[in-house]
Amino acid sequence: MLKVGVRTIGRGFASFAHNGRVLSSTTGTSEPQTSGKRLQGVQELRRIVNSEPNAGVAWDQVWKQKVTPWVQATSAPALLELIEQNQLPGGRALVPGCGHGNDVFALAEPGKRTVIGLDISPTVIAQCEKTREERNIPKESAQFLSADFFTYAPAKSFNVIYDYTFLGALPANLHSAWASQMHKLLDDSGELVTVIFPVDGHEGGPPYAMSPEQTINLLTPLGFRCIHLRPVTKAHKGRENIEWLGRWKKSQ
């Protein structure tokens, strides 16, 4: 067991595949999380990413072929709730692995926040820019850049960084580099927000199984302080019980 503040995190997450479905449970009763069609999408995603050594080429092919079984029509309810409750810092924000840009657009409140969406795929970045034009969102509020997160070196740090499905797309040998880059990019007074997903214990990836303990072990050695870590209260259908919200600040 692992304690965060006064809260105890249990290790009782179970997950397994059966007859083309992924079943996950934190309460002892399993719920179907992945339909047959979605499972096929996950398998094709893994085939593309794991067969191409160049990550940029692989993920651009994923977007070109629209092999995106993780994509939702809207941002995670956990993020939208933080925005609605005005709990996040203003200033500069970063969304690495921004995909279609939903989270960038959600965070890009005019006059409050300038958001940069970063993705290694030029194909999806072009889609984001087209969507921005269609929605008449000012470029000053939502900017997009095709670049490698691990070599990205902006002139200024960020007041808030948001990670939902980005860490879960990375193999374990890149996790330490992910944490180091997050520490480098975040302002000393800023906040890192992570929706930890999927917390289901499955093998293989992407997406790779995540856990609250794993995220703590990545961030705390670098001086991150956890200010919130709990299962989300709202989630997209099919993601109930496999998402946690983590909020982190640098230790002063």
Query: pLDDT tens, 32-55?
Result: 344 567 788 889 999 999 999 999
Instruction: For residue range 107-145, list pLDDT tens digits in order.
Output: 998 889 999 999 999 999 999 999 999 999 999 999 999
State how far the Cα of 115 lies from the Cα of 138, in Å rounded to an integer.
Answer: 11
Half-sphere exposure of 6 (CA within 13 A, CB side): 0
Task: Mention every residue, 6+ apart, whose C-beta is less than 8 A from residue 183.
Answer: 222, 223, 224, 250
What pLDDT score does 35 carry?
59
pTM, two decimals, is 0.85
pLDDT at 31: 34
In the chain, pLDDT over 70 holds for what percent of residues? 85
For the segment 64-95, what is each residue's pLDDT rounded down to a tens digit? 999 988 889 899 999 999 999 999 999 999 99
Per-domain residue ranges for the chain? 2-250
The CATH architecture assigned to 2-250 reads: 3-Layer(aba) Sandwich (3.40)
Beta-carbon contacts of residue 119 (< 8 Å; ≥ 6 apart): 59, 96, 97, 98, 99, 125, 128, 144, 145, 146
